[in-house]
Amino acid sequence: MGDFVAVTRNYYVFNRDKWQALHGHTKEAEISDADLQSVKAFHDKISLTDVREIYWPLRRLVYLYFKSFRQKRQTLAHFLDQRVGPSPFIIGIAGSVAVGKSTTARLLNLLLKRAYPNLRIESITTDGFLYPNAELTRRGILDRKGFPESYDMPRLLSMLNAVKAGAADVPVPMYDHQTYDVLRDQFIHLERPDILIVEGINVLQLPSNSQIYVSDFFDFSVYVDADPALIEEWYLDRFGALLDTAFTDPDDYYYQYAIGNRADAFAMARRVWHDVNLKNLQEYILPTRSRADLILHKTAHHRIDRVYLRKY
C-alpha cells in the first residue's frame, strides 16, 4: 500500500473474515454463476464466494448510506417547508485500468436491483466523455488518452449536474472498447434514477482548472486498489486474451496486433503500460485513493484481502 499506510488511521481496516461478518441479518437475493458471468468484465476474475463475502456487506452498506441520503433530503424539505425535488444517490467507482472497476460497478448494480426491485438503478462509465480519437490526434495528445486533459470535463460535469438536479432525460455518450473510440450520436438516457453508479479512472480526480469536481456529486465512493506490478500482470494477461479474440474481426482495434508478430505486440503493450497507464496511475489516479469512502484492496488473482472504510 506504500505511503497509504500513513493515512489508514482515517479508515477502519477489515480483513476478509471481519468484513463478511458485516453482512447483517437481511435476506440476500441469490445470484447464479450465469448472473456473475454476465456482469464480469472481460478476463476479470470473481467468484460467488466473493459475492457473499465482499459484495453482500458492501451492498448493505450502500443501502444504509442511501437511506441516510433520503432522510437528509426529507430533513431539508422539512426545514424549507416545501417539497424538494428528486435527486439520485450517486456512487463513484475509481481505480486503475485493468484493476476490475467495471466488474465492481456492474455487480453492485445487479445486487442492488435484485435486493430493491422498486428502485431505478443505473450505471455509466466516464469513457464516453473522452474526446474522440480524431480530436485527441488534432490536439496532439492521443498518446495521453486517459490522462485528465483527454476528457471533456465540462461536458461530464454538466451531465452530473443535470442528473443531480433531477432532470427528466439526461443523455450520456457511449464508448466502444472494440473500436477504442467514442460512439458518435449514441447515448444512454438517464431518467431520474434513484441510484446512479459512475465508474471511471478519473472520477475522484481534482483538475486544477475547475471550481467544481466530479466527486462533488458523489454520495459514496469506492476505490479498487492493487499493487501496480499486479495490475500490469492483469493488463498484459487481458491484452493477450484480446489478441486471441480479435484476429477474426478487421474492425477490432486489436486486429492489427492480433495478426502480427505476437512478441512485437506484447512489447508494444508493455510500452503502453509503462509510458501511459502506469504514469497515469502514479501521477493522477493513485493520489485520489485516500479520498474514497471505501477501498477494496486486491491481491493475486483479483482476490480482495482487505477492505478500508473511511471513519470520517
Rounded Cα distance between 8 and 22, Å, is 20
DSSP 8-state class, residue 54: I
Beta bridge partners of 90: 196
Grid cell digits, residue 241: 486474451
Q: Is 100 annotated as a binding residue?
A: yes
Residue that has been written with the C-alpha cell 461478518 in this structure? 21
Rounded Cα distance between 145 and 21, Å, is 41
- The percent helix, strand, coil of the chain (3-state, each to 5) is 50, 20, 30
Rounded Cα distance between 281 and 225, Å, is 11
Rounded Cα distance between 151 and 140, Å, is 14
Q: Is 85 annotated as a binding residue?
A: no
Q: Is 269 annotated as a binding residue?
A: no
The letter for the amino acid at 87 is S
Rounded Cα distance between 7 and 20, Å, is 24
CB 125 within 8 A of CB 200: yes
3-state secondary structure (DSSP) of residue 86: coil
Q: Is 45 annotated as a binding residue?
A: no
Grid cell digits, residue 286: 493513485
Q: Is 102 annotated as a binding residue?
A: yes
Q: Is 210 annotated as a binding residue?
A: no
Rounded Cα distance between 29 and 13, Å, is 27
Grid cell digits, residue 62: 450502500
3-state secondary structure (DSSP) of residue 301: helix
Q: Is 101 annotated as a binding residue?
A: yes
Grid cell digits, residue 110: 445487479
List binding-site positions for ATP: 95-102
Please give the annotated binding residues, written as ranges: 95-102
